[in-house]
């Protein structure tokens, strides 16, 4: 039996031109950059949404104080029970005590009231801090020793009637510059 071997022509490997590779790398880089940009924008929007929700809570707490004091001869809710009293007498919902940047739930508050507001014989001026973020608890009253930055990166939400310059959120390094007394 006769076998025939047909000589196959060996095809040389065709390499794409360097220009084509540059175009491919450029396209891939563009796609990767677009994905990265999308992730960065999503992250920034999430941060903005959490800060906005927190700022609304702080504003709501500030608005609830006069509702309470009007009914109690100008007196602030007692420091030991201020969360409970604002719920009972100023129609504050417990959800208003939860910062969107925190995982707190139930009867906890991510906000504390400034203890300096209770200093006898002293009336706080408009630029004195009223509410600020702290580790979730209940009926917390204090000052600089209590603030917590974990809900918004290195910043905390604070509220005073004239607002802090950074739009209610201030870095841990600058928080001492606010008026706490």
Instruction: Give the whole-angstrom CA distance, residue 160 versus residue 126.
Output: 6
Q: Please identify, using beta-carbon distances, which residue of 33 and 144 lies nearer to Zn ion.
A: 144
Min dist. Cβ of residue 176 to Zn ion (A)? 19
Nearer to Zn ion, 47 or 69 (CB): 47
109-114 and 141-142 as β-strands: parallel, antiparallel, unpaired? parallel
- Out of 65, 157, 158, 159, which residue is the one contacting Zn ion (CB under 5 A)? 157
Pick one of 64, 92, 101, 134: the residue that binds Zn ion (CB under 5 A).
101
- Strand pairing class (169-171; 155-159): antiparallel
Q: Token pair for residue 124?
A: 């706080």
Q: Which residues pair with 152 in a beta bridge?
A: 155
CB of 20 to Zn ion, least distance (A): 52
Which residue, 77 or 157, has its beta carbon nearer to Zn ion?
A: 157
Binding mask 133-152 for Zn ion (x = CB under 5 A): ------------------x-
8-state DSSP, 62? H
Give 112's strand partners: 132
Q: Which two tokens stand for residue 150?
A: 């974990």
Q: Which of residues 45-84 bind Zn ion (CB under 5 A)?
A: 54
Judged by the rule CB under 5 A, the positions of this chain that interact with Zn ion are 54, 99, 101, 151, 157
């Amino acid at each position: 039996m006769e076998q025939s071997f047909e000589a196959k022509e060996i095809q040389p490997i065709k390499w794409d031109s360097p220009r084509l590779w540059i175009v491919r790398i450029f396209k891939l880089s563009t796609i990767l950059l677009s994905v990265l940009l999308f992730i960065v924008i999503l992250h920034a929007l999430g941060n903005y949404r959490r800060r906005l929700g927190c700022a609304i809570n702080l504003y709501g707490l500030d608005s609830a104080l006069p509702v309470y004091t009007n009914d109690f001869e100008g007196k602030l809710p007692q420091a030991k029970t201020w969360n409970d009293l604002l719920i009972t007498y100023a129609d504050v919902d417990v959800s208003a005590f939860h910062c969107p940047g925190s995982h707190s739930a139930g009867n906890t508050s991510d906000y504390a009231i400034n203890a300096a507001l209770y200093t006898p014989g002293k009336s706080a001026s408009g630029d004195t801090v009223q509410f600020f973020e702290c580790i979730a608890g209940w009926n917390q009253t204090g000052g600089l020793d209590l603030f917590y930055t974990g809900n918004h990166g290195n910043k905390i939400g604070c509220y005073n009637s004239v607002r802090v310059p950074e739009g209610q959120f201030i870095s841990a390094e600058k928080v001492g510059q606010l008026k706490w007394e």
